[in-house]
Structure 1
Amino acid sequence: MDRPANQNRPTVDAVLARISDGYYSVNSAWQFTDVNRQALQILDCSAEDLLGKDLWEVFPGLRGSVFEEGYRRVMLQREPEELKAFYPDHQRWYEVQAYPTGDGLSVYFRNVTDIVNVDAKLKQSEQRLQKMADSIPQIVWICDAQGNLQYINQKWHEFTGFPFDPLLVQDQISAILHEDDRDVTLRAWERSRSDGRAFYAEHRMKSASGEYRWFMARAQPEIDPETEQILGWFGTSTDIHEQKLAQMAAETSEARYNSLFNSIDEGFCVIEMLFDSAGNPFDYRFVDVNPVFEAQTGLHDAIGKTARQMVPQHESYWYEIYGDVALTGQPVRFENEAKALQRWYDVYAFRIDAPEDRHVAVLFKDITERKVTERQLLLDSQRKDEFLAMLAHELRNPLAPISAAADLLRLAQPDDARVRKSSEIISRQVRHMTSLINDLLDVSRVTSGLVSLDSAATDLRQILLEAQEQTRPLIESRRHHFSSTMPSETMIVRGDSKRLIQIFSNLLNNAAKYTPEGGIISLRGEVRENEVDIMVADNGIGMSASLVKNAFELFTQAERTADRAQGGLGIGLALVKSLVELHGGRVVGSSAGLNEGSEFRVTLPLMVSHAVHVPLDDEPTHNALEPLRLMVVDDNEDAARMLAMFLEAAGHEVIVEFESRRALERAAIERPSVCLLDVGLPDIDGYELARRLKRNPDTADMILIAITGYGQEKDRLNTAQAGFSHHFVKPVSTDALMALLTEIAVSRQPG
């Protein structure tokens, strides 16, 4: 006879309590009829919360879920089902077994969230591992304890062209290993398998393209912790081809370096920079030196010692330079004097090794002898400039009386034709010598960068007229046919009118000199956009191709004739080129060959401005000068007398003195309007004489004109500072002097 249901209950409860899964049952109305303790713990509720309650109301999240679908199928079909799904309300995964019982169903369930997550992570990890293995640049492989490959990543196929086949891969490996590396690799592998140590080998493998490349193979054994037996191997093969080649090259380079290190004839050392706590370099230690080091420095047994130990007075700038190289890694080339060693060095310093090592390599050469030579050359150059200035001064001194005498003869206009002819010859030769001296000094100034332009808007037409006027006597004396063709456009340039005249008069002079008598010389101008071209052409002796190439080099000259009539200093065209470039222009020369004539083209930038006309002064009319009382002071008596005679012939009253002290006394008594002073006076020089005249109230308003053989910019500055109003270079241009005196006379006229 069956027991009542309530009599079986303790047994059922005991069974349910021992079940590790959660359990609950529902009737056909979906009401909870039973639940065990594990279910209450999993669901975090009490029996009162469930028993007699509607399943769908207690757990509304079941509606529409996989669980609802499964439960209804079990209830309807009376067949058990296993379900696993995510329940959003609990944020958990549940694994469920549902059975039909009586008129309802029984549900056994457990929380499998951790298991699902582990499985998901494991799957994700495996996927990532596979992707990583296929993406890393190495060939990744796994083999068993016997060395049979079980896995190899995609890089194997990419490199060899072979798909992974466990049955073929061993033969494939043997086939692609370089024959010289096969035995070494096999011995290393067998040694690792026998002693369980990590496997390492470097060998060459052949790629799908047939190229052998160096690989580094490494593998670690997987050890059974209980039996300590090898279970398998995890390995990689890394392409080290470039590194291997670099290593072999480095080894070769190291050998060459050692050979070079010991054979170069320049000093070489490696130093370690030492810094204080503030990061400032204060010393360095010699790490290595080559054999020449001692000969170049005079220092012995330097390795391991510091610079301050070896050379206590070593200058601080050496530490600063090398310290900067060590910190920045920027190499530096410099020349410096090591005063403590009494030597000069040409040094190249660069950082080597790791930056934190603070190592600097220093390649150096003793250039003391060269520096001494350079210093001597500099002194010689200075002496040369001084000599040129003195030469010009000494040459100009005798020119002054010659020039004045020639001008006096010209003014006197004697009836004797021979006197007139002699006067013309003297004047012409004086102008020629003056031009040579000026060119000589100009070249010296240009090559030294001492020429500055007094630039202004200038009408190039007027410049060319001035240049023609200056060269007209030479052109006429050689009976040349001269023509000038200028464009209708204005030709305004920014330049120094004096230097521009010098450029074109030089070119015209050359054309006249190097064209046989009765030749043809032309001067043409062309305006092109923002530039103007001026061409000076002749049908003279022409130039060879080599001369055209070097025409503008200093001291380049054409072939001289036997009588040297067309000789010169070889500096004219060099000066022309320098002056043209100072004006922002360019000059080129051309010739069809010897005896085919030459053409020189000067190109200058035009100014975008209104035309500026620079009218030329009319020929000076010396007899129109207003009489002035003048004083001439010069210790060269011939020069003083000839200048005085010329000025008297022009109608002026002239006082002459040869000594500074007499001139001071005479000036205070006679009170001349203008005083022409030679600067190089022996007793009191012209500068001091000028200052004293300006300090004396009786002579303070006197106009002072410097007459000197020195014409450089600094000389003009010195005369201006001493009180001179004007500066004339010997031989004095009488036209310019007469024009100045005319201006002074006019300015002193009443009204």
Structure 2
Amino acid sequence: MNQGSNNLMVIDDVIPEGSLKESKTLEELRQRERELADFIENASLGLHWVGADGTILWANQAELDLLGYTREEYVGRNITEFHADREVIDDILQRLTNKETLHDYEARLKCKDGSVRHVLINSNVMWEEDKFVHTRCFTRDVTERRRAEVELLKSRSQLEELLAREQVARAEAERRRDFTRLVLEDAPIAIGVMEGPDHRFLLVNRQTCELTGFSEEQFVGRTHAEVVPEADKVVGPILDRVYTTGLSETQEIDVDLPKGRRQLLVTWTALPGTDGRLGSVLYLSLDITDRKLAEEAVRESERQLRTLADAVPQLVWMADADGYIFWYNERWYDYTGTTPEQMEGWGWQSVHDPELLPRVVKRWKASLETGEPFEMEFPLKGVDGVFRWFLTRVNPLRDSQGHIVRWFGTNTDVDEQRRTAEELREANRLKDEFLATVSHELRTPLTAILGWAHLLRAGQVDEKNVVGALETIERNARAQSQLIDDLLDVSRIITGKLRLDVRQIDPGSFIESAIEALRPAAEAKDVRIQKVMDTGVVSVAGDPARLQQVVWNLLSNAIKFTPKGGRVQVRLERINSHIEIAVSDTGAGIKPEFLPHVFERFRQADQKTTREHGGLGLGLAIVRHLVELHGGTVQADSPGEGQGATFVVNLPIVPVYQKDNLAERVHPAARDILTSYDCPERLDGLKVLVVDDEVDTREVFRVSIAHCGAEVVTAGSAQEALEAIEKEQPNLLISDIGMPGEDGYELIRKVRALPSGRGGKIPAIALTAYARTEDRLRALRAGYQMHISKPVELAELVAVMASLIQRSDKIE
């Protein structure tokens, strides 16, 4: 359809058909239509008609020019596409549908070039028989007017901001003047201004008058030399320099004033005049006479305090008000092995445990901020590298005005008290667990024993059930016996009194003995025991009874937790320099979260009162200790509950080389160990101190080490060892750990506390049956350089001794 027909369509819509009939002639009407269409098309206002569904039916050229679209790009599309704000056009259409007429409705239209125009819309709807035909919308562009309004608002806002700033600046100037007057009059220090070059007073504050005893009138207009002639002898040259150079000066001065001799801390500052040249000098003067007297009193008190502090057993130190430690007593340096230069200021952090140090620093800084006394327990590292726990207390020292001038601190050694308290707590906890479990496990078999005994005595058991009753009593009595044996073994392990009768033995023999002892129990549950034995396994060094106990405990556990008809396998094989004994079952299995605790005393996977299996939870703990005493390891593995479990014991193989002539010279109990011995190194000229509470063990090491050329001294206790170190001055110390009275850890701590000239730095080896990783770390932390687990090949021991002596010689 062409342009003209579009316009005619519009006119047809505008003029009802009845009006055409009333026109004089059709030609006249057509002419009027053309004129009206031309007027609308070329009107300066944008016009467009929109249908009921929002479609644009027609638009004049002004509308198209306003938005930058061609007629084809505009007409036929939905009006919502050209409105920048959807909620606005929705509101417009809703209003028109409700037969409202819009007057200057503000909207934003999107142009083809991406810009947005602000317009005012006037519109109504043409209806025919209450049917929406189309809208008639007039669009007036007010973008430039809106821009001008925004600029006007912006200018107004800027003007208001400038006025507000001016008011703030005026108020700030007033505040500063008030503040200056307040500072000058109420300042706690003497303030004044003197005009040069003769330093004539221009103004002074109240504190200046109080300091000198003069009134303000006696100052103003007079020179410094006229008012305070005696003080001018000291101050006059300073005023001249400041006035001449313009450089500020601060000094402590002693001056004679009308109120007496005073010590002052004074700052003089040159002030420029109105012409920019130096015109006057400002002074700020603080009377520090009382503070100086107080500081001298504190210094005298500190001298007396230091003398006293050097005589007490605690570590003592002092810090200034900011926490800067400036003095320690001699005991501090003796314990830490540090120097004053290393400890200066905050250098004390180097002797603290790095893990606890942040908490210590935080607490110390909190005391510095609040002025509250400090109290805390934490470990400090000694000269031997070992940490000991100290109770630290720090109190503030205040002057007459209540200001903190010093901090006085003490560190009291509480290591033994903490260890004792911890041991008591642990002992109480274990005691409670122990008593509860023992009570249950002992009472359970007693119930059966007493019950059947009562029935038998009362004659209430018929003859055919007597044998079963007696078997029940015997079985429960044996269960009690086993519980008691386990308790005794654990007691020996805890107290370090469990001893091994070490000899060369065939592993197959103690494994067979354990299997045969438990075969009846397995057959009673219809559990099959399968043996897989490596015939090439050689002898091991160990206590046959204890190793049989290890296998018995593992096998007993496997049978107990394997259901009827299950299988238990015992496997023995040699792997390199170890033998491996594995006990596997098809039983209940072990939860993954319980595996790390399976060898701990009194720990059981099921600790409920409804548990299916009894026991004290000691069997596997005894296994672990016995295996470690033999220098071996034990591990547990299980895929999970209901999937069985495997326990693997590894024991070292000790090769045997016959040395009959040497073995005949030593105690019989040590002969099996010595027969495997060759000298890898000569130890001529070396004096060795061997410490062990077992006579046989001491004799073995005495003979074997002497065989390599060393002179050997022995001691049976820690006290004897300390006396031997003082008397014999050995070159090397070899000590057991588990000894009655004082153990090997306490011995080495006391040795390391000795001066180096009296044996404090002697190389030391811990030779012990405690072979766990934590045992080794504890020995090294205590002060030993090496940790060797029993049993040990003496050739290996001699090689370690030689290596340690060579290393010590290089360090020295």
With structure 1 as the length reference, what TM-score do the two structures score? 0.33
When normalised by structure 2's length, the TM-score is 0.30
Higher relative contact order (CA 8 A, sep 6+): 1
> Larger radius of gyration, structure 1 or 2?
1
